[in-house]
């Protein structure tokens, strides 16, 4: 059912993203994309007593919101693909368990939105399911506590650092229906150029983003201008510049169509987020909120969404390991 490219799969029966739903925290809602989020949180704790439980509730609200918006029940959804940044992806486990939907747990760091949409598309395009759900989440305080310092500690943030968003995005992927279609995917390779600075994730992920974008363009014989936008996950301000620069040196000028969810979600002049947004929920909520809306209104007709992930743990960094990156590309068109 799919054409086998070198790395890219072009779907003969492109799955349709029939519905999308996004939740975002108070800071994200105050940003430039605030109006596009379905569920605007006023309380970063969502009434829970820990940040970790708050993230699970964020996921639960997002999935329930998507079901309501699409007028579906949990039993209408055949399979669910999701993951998050918490150790052993427990935010997803506790956020999703009560829906009782067969579940594939994923870990692709901040590339998880691309990974979940890719696997969901493969399943639907291959005729294995009619309706599945894909999504992801992140929570600023849970992620800071786990990967760097608890926010209560008040550590100073490096200027190359990004702000993990408190947000979640889920989408319905269907065999038929109306909406933007996933016409192709390019699952990414692990790319390691030896970056070790855990306070500069954008630099660590940029080579992987370029690797996947160039593979997609080559496999599908397209050029950057064939897309209205090529939008990476969360390279942020630093990483986005590096990505455009690397692509340029490899002979591909991305500059006219390139953007990044981490750049879009915050106003870097007024929100003091340094290098922009990050976290699984960044590309998750920017796609399910802003980009899905732009596609549905035909303001964008064809995009390449490229969620990017930094594959490390605090332990791997402490043991002197590098920070490899990965990026999964999803080509989405609106007829």
- Residues of this chain that interact with a second copy (CB under 8 A) are 1-2, 4, 7, 9, 50, 52-53, 78-79, 83, 85-90, 93-94, 96-97, 100-109, 115, 118-119, 122-123, 125-130, 186-190, 192, 311-316, 319, 321, 324, 326
Residue with Cβ nearer a second copy (65 or 126): 126
Whether residue 332 contacts residue 120, with contact meaning beta carbons closer than 8 Å, is answered with: no
| Residue 187 C-beta: closest distance to a second copy, Å | 4
| Residue 237 C-beta: closest distance to a second copy, Å | 24
Bridge-partner residues for 9, per DSSP?
A: 4, 185
Residue with Cβ nearer a second copy (78 or 222): 78
| Residue 97 C-beta: closest distance to a second copy, Å | 4
| Residue 197 C-beta: closest distance to a second copy, Å | 17
Buried b (16+ CB within 10 A) or exposed e, 116-148: bbbbbbbbbbeeebbbbbbbbbbbbbbbbbbbb
| Upper half-sphere CA count for residue 179 (Cβ side, 13 Å) | 19
Residue with Cβ nearer a second copy (122 or 242): 122
Residue with Cβ nearer a second copy (191 or 244): 191
| Residue 270 C-beta: closest distance to a second copy, Å | 32
- Give the three-class secondary structure for 193: coil
* End-to-end Cα spacing for the chain: 21
| Residue 184 C-beta: closest distance to a second copy, Å | 11
Whether residue 190 contacts residue 324, with contact meaning beta carbons closer than 8 Å, is answered with: yes
| Residue 1 C-beta: closest distance to a second copy, Å | 5
> Residue holding tokens 């994309």?
33
d(CA 54, CA 40): 14
Closest CA to 127 of 275, 296, 13, 6: 13
| Residue 213 C-beta: closest distance to a second copy, Å | 14
d(CA 303, CA 24): 23
Residue with Cβ nearer a second copy (59 or 334): 59
Strands (E), 12-67: 16-24, 39-40
Tell me which DSSP letter residue 285 carries: H
Residue with Cβ nearer a second copy (115 or 260): 115
d(CA 243, CA 246): 5
Residue with Cβ nearer a second copy (124 or 264): 124
Residue with Cβ nearer a second copy (45 or 90): 90
The H or E element spanning position 278 is strand 277-278
């Amino acid at each position: 059912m799919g054409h086998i490219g070198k790395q890219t799969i072009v779907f003969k029966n492109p799955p349709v993203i029939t519905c999308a739903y996004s939740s975002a925290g108070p800071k994200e809602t105050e940003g430039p994309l605030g109006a596009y989020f379905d569920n605007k949180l006023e309380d970063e704790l969502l009434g829970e007593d820990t940040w970790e439980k708050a993230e699970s509730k964020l996921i639960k609200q997002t999935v329930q919101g998507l079901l309501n918006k699409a007028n579906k029940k949990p039993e209408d959804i055949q399979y669910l693909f999701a993951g998050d940044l918490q150790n052993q992806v427990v935010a997803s486990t506790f956020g999703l368990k009560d829906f009782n939907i067969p579940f594939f747990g994923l870990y692709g760091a901040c590339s998880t939105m691309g990974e979940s949409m890719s696997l969901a598309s493969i399943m639907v395009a291959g005729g294995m399911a009619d309706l599945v759900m894909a999504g992801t989440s992140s929570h600023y305080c849970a992620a800071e506590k786990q990967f760097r310092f608890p926010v209560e500690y008040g550590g100073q943030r490096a200027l190359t650092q990004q702000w993990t968003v408190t947000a979640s995005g889920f989408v319905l992927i269907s065999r038929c229906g109306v909406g933007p279609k996933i016409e192709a995917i390019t699952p990414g390779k692990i790319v390691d150029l030896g970056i070790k600075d855990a306070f500069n994730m954008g630099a660590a992920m940029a080579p992987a983003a370029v690797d996947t974008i160039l593979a997609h363009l080559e496999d599908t014989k397209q050029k950057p201008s064939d897309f209205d936008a090529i939008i990476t996950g969360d390279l942020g301000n630093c990483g986005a510049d590096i990505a455009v620069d690397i692509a340029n040196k490899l002979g591909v000028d991305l500059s006219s169509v390139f953007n990044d969810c981490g750049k879009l979600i915050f106003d870097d002049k007024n929100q003091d987020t340094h290098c922009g947004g990050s976290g699984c929920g960044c590309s998750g909520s920017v796609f399910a909120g802003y980009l899905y809306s732009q596609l549905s209104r035909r303001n964008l007709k064809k995009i390449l969404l490229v969620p990017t992930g930094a594959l490390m743990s605090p332990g791997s960094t402490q043991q002197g390991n590098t920070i490899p990156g990965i990026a999964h590309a999803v080509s989405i068109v609106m007829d």
